[in-house]
């Protein structure tokens, strides 16, 4: 992509309304635009990051055996009367009457609807386990939306729902999602710690939050430093070997970890050595629940068991706040100059800066670099705009592409480029041929 053909409305000034770093940087980097309180448009750069995050989540959900579906945003209220949860969300739920005066709502979550889908098709334990997920916009009418997409009203969520015939199998489903979540966040370059959590409005008896560590996080977390060294399973882990998966979950839940609300500083924490104690700031990015028959019982989602008798199916749900995750990554990975994208979710792999557009050597050489890198499989953004070099450097740092290739008049004539690593800030001059090898080897 040539910047002259792109739509990247960067802001030079810090927008006043943005209280936290990710919100500030997303506005400044032209990733999002507010359309109403807590409601955002995603501009091209933001949309690309969102898509990359969706891509990783899909891959890992599919790997763990979940199947993708897509439920609508608007739900009939009657499903919520059935579950008895219609009033639980209070004014946070966006209630709507359609033209026939039927009560509808913009879904804040989908436990009811998925239970309805399940009960209309599945009859027997033989068709289980089943895990269905979707990635869809949700709405929660927060009284005070703020912090950009970190706490917005319309937000993108991945929610998965598991169905099992008994408790043991339900735990295995829970564990698969637990491990899938470890892989998802790790692939995004995040250090994430699962914490035992309160089940809130979703309900149930077992729940973990996944908290990203970030110095600018929203709340305090307290955990054992051992978490920083527990290995995350590789892509070829067998998700259907229940014992192995359970072992990984045990490893990841054994050391102490607690959110501020659950922290007990006089218990295990008091007995830990100073060196083991890690108190840090974090951001919740995922939340998983086992809630057994909370919805299947009132809604009559029954299955025939091995014993020939009908019983309510055992369920869990597994959410990731996708739009909020974009902000969380930025909170965890930025510096004074802007965003530093982890490689797997960077909107472009490489930014190429033509320092002097109009100079024939610069134009030709930067275009050549662009074409070669594109055909080598790198997605590049070539800044071919007529701006001061200083402003170009600032923009490229701000939008945080992992690698920069800088082409100036002198280097162009010598067939050289300067390579800058956004994270470390190191710059190296080399021939373009060496640069290709260098980039390919990263």
Binding site for its own copies (CB under 8 A): 5-7, 9, 33, 35-37, 39-44, 46-47, 50, 65, 67-76, 91-92, 94, 96, 98-100, 102, 104, 106, 113, 116-117, 120-121, 130, 132, 137, 139, 141, 143, 153-154
Closer by beta carbon to its own copies, 78 or else 219: 78
Burial of 169 (0-12, 13-18, 19+ CB in 10 A): middle
**Least separation, in Å, of the C-beta of 178 and its own copies?**
20
Residue 173 CA to residue 130 CA, distance in Å, equals 9
**In angstroms, rounded to a whole number, what is the distance separating the alpha carbons of residues 12 and 309?**
67
Helix (H, G, I), strand (E, B) or coil at 47: helix
Which residues fall within 8 angstroms of residue 434, CB to CB, at 6 or more apart? none
How far apart are CB 43 and its own copies at their closest, in Å? 5
Give the residue with the Cβ less far from its own copies, 100 or 375.
100
Token pair of 149 as six digits:
């997409």
Is the Cβ of residue 112 or residue 397 nearer to its own copies in the bound state? 112
Taking alpha carbons only, the member of 48, 65, 285 closest to residue 186 is 285
Residue 439 contacts by C-beta under 8 Å, 6 or more apart in sequence? 350, 373, 376, 378, 403, 405, 419
CB of 270 to its own copies, least distance (A): 43
Residue (of 407, 402, 377, 380) closest to 392 by Cα position: 407
**In this structure, are residues 149 and 26 in contact, taking their beta carbons and an 8 Å threshold?**
yes
Instruction: For residues 105 and 96, give the distance between their C-alpha atoms in angstroms, rounded to a whole number.
Output: 5
- Indicate the residue among 340 and 401 with the shorter CB distance to its own copies: 401
Q: In the bound complex, what is the minimum distance in angstroms from residue 199's beta carbon to its own copies?
A: 25
CB-wise, 96 or 268, nearer to its own copies? Answer: 96
Residue 67 or 228 having the CB closest to its own copies? 67
Which residue has tokens 């980039």? 439
Closest separation between CB of residue 374 and its own copies, Å? 14
Give least dist CB 318 to its own copies, A. Answer: 17
Pick the closer one to its own copies by CB: 273 or 388.
388
Shortest spacing between CB 289 and its own copies, in angstroms: 21
Retrieve residue 134's tokens. 């979707």
């Amino acid at each position: 992509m040539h910047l002259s053909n792109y739509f990247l409305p960067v802001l030079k000034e810090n927008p006043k309304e943005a209280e936290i770093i990710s919100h500030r940087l997303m506005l400044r980097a032209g990733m999002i635009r507010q359309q109403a309180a807590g409601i955002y448009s995603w501009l091209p750069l933001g949309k690309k990051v969102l898509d990359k995050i969706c891509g990783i989540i899909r891959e890992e959900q599919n790997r763990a055996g979940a199947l993708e579906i897509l439920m609508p945003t608007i739900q009939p209220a009657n499903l919520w009367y059935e579950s008895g949860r219609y009033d639980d969300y209070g004014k946070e739920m966006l209630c709507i009457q359609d033209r026939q005066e039927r009560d509808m709502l913009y879904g804040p979550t989908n436990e009811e609807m998925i239970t309805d889908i399940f009960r209309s098709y599945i009859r027997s334990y033989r068709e289980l386990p089943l895990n269905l997920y979707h990635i869809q916009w949700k709405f929660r009418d927060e009284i005070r939306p703020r912090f950009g997409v970190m706490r917005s009203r319309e937000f993108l969520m991945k929610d998965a729902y598991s169905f099992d015939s008994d408790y043991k199998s339900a735990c295995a489903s829970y564990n698969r999602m637990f491990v899938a979540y470890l892989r998802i966040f790790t692939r995004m370059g995040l250090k994430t710690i699962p914490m035992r959590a309160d089940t809130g409005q979703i309900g149930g008896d077992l729940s973990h939050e996944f908290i990203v560590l970030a110095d600018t996080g929203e709340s305090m977390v307290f955990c054992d430093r051992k978490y920083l060294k527990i290995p995350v399973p590789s892509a070829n882990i067998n998700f259907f070997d229940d014992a192995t998966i359970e072992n990984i979950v045990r490893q990841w839940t054994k050391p102490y970890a607690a959110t501020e609300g659950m922290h007990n500083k006089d218990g295990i924490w008091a007995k830990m050595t100073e060196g083991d104690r890690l108190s840090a700031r974090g951001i919740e990015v995922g939340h998983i629940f086992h809630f057994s028959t909370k919805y299947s019982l009132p809604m009559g989602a029954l299955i025939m068991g091995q014993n020939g008798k009908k019983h309510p199916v055992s369920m869990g749900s597994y959410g990731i706040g996708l739009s909020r995750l974009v902000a969380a990554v930025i909170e965890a990975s930025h510096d004074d100059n802007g965003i530093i994208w982890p490689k797997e979710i960077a909107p472009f792999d490489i930014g190429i800066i033509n320092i002097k557009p109009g100079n024939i050597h610069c134009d030709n050489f930067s275009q050549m670099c662009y074409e070669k890198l594109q055909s080598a499989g790198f997605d590049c953004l070539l800044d071919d705009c007529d701006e001061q070099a200083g402003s170009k450097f600032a923009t490229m740092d701000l939008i945080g592409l992992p690698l920069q290739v800088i082409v100036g008049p002198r280097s162009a004539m010598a067939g050289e480029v300067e390579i800058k690593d956004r994270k470390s800030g190191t710059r190296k001059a080399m021939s373009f041929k060496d640069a290709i090898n260098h980039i390919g080897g990263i």
